Amino acid sequence: MEKQTIRDTDVAGKRVLLRVDFNVPMDDKTGSISDDIRIREALPTINYLTERGARVIICSHLGRPKGKVVPSMSLAPIAKRLSQLLGKPVQTTGDCVGPEAEKVARELRNGGVLMLENLRFHAEEEANDAAFSKALAQLADIYVNDAFGAAHRAHASTAGVAQYLPAVAGLLMEKEISILGKALSDPLHPYCVMVGGAKISDKIGVLEKALEKVDSLIIGGGMACTFFKAQGLQVGKSLVEDDRLDFARSLMKKAGEGKVRLLLPADAVVADRFDAEANSRVVDVDKMPAEWMMLDIGPKTLVLFSGELRTCKTVIWNGPMGVFEFPRFRKGTEAIAAVLSDLKATTIIGGGSTAEAVQEMGYADKMTHVSTGGGAALEFMEGKVLPGVAALLDR
């Protein structure tokens, strides 16, 4: 998937509309940014553009204001943080389109940075409205998409605007496409995909696609319980998708036929309720108490999974091993992250809650790549065409 990037175009003196993903977590009480990793990930692209004399006009969404102006979802605090990180002023506007935005964009100097207000204050953004796309395009000469985390959405700022301006990838978008693309199309073997999280239904496409390429498939997290029930095991009050039992049986059968090692947990940390302070104990997966639920993988499983991972040259991991938000049920996720951080292999974290976990636990910088895309990374791993990537010019 060879797309043109900012390296392929002359940006000097040009107004560049830069779509980023600054949908960062905010502290509800203080209104401050609780994690600025997405802002930091965009810095190489912003610096590349400003150092070459571009006039950078940044646009992003934040939260789900549903087409209305919601002051708590303003991008003003993010502009302030970006200014601190860049060490230079970042101008702001009260809207992302219209006379004020057009005037400020027109008067922006070479090397200057402007941040538009939240795109989703307009319902036309998510509707991929043509008039709204044109209004955004009027602000600039070139469009750059660096928002991999939003690339699976066909919105005005990710797809529509590319119909009216030359459209290229930013450095983060290029990195995401390159690293994920190579790992999926030409991985070093042994190759393992490890999937966790609560539901199979979120990851059916990933699981099916993985069987075509992998040497081993590891399934942890709450979704493992659907596989246990498909095998006839008692899973207590654990979350189970009864409408996916046939899929689970089919996947296990296909793995066997394709000589793919499919590893499920051998034991689990079970709790008497879904609560950070719940009573808990470790049991083998065929001995789950009827009134309890699985909230993490157990020590035998860690030995099993770790042994498999240490043989691998490529590992893609999407989905935590347990309810890592609760300190008592994060040991499995943390231990797996520690194993991956020590591997002499290509290790890719497929965005979303898994990325959040490894960052919070301090392992992010020890992975080959931590994707900034949650849903986008999943859809990319499924082999789907992402609208925000497809809209960019081919090299």
Active site residues: 38, 199, 352, 375
- Residues with Cβ within 8 Å of 258's Cβ and at least 6 positions away in sequence, in order, are 211
What is the rounded CA–CA span in Å between residue 160 and residue 128?
A: 6
What is the rounded CA–CA span in Å between residue 178 and residue 125?
A: 28
Contact 59, 99 (CB under 8 A): no
What is the rounded CA–CA span in Å between residue 221 and residue 329?
A: 11
What is the rounded CA–CA span in Å between residue 186 and residue 246?
A: 31
* Polymer length of the chain: 395
What is the rounded CA–CA span in Å between residue 36 and residue 33?
A: 6
Contact 381, 209 (CB under 8 A): yes
- Exposure string of 350-384, with b = 16+ CB inside 10 Å and e = fewer, is bbbbbbbbbbbeebbeebebbbbbbbbbbbbbbee
Angle formed by the axes of helices 171-185 and 37-51, nearest 10°: 120
Total H helices, total E strands in the chain: 14, 15
Residue 301: count other Cβ atoms within 10 Å of its Cβ.
27
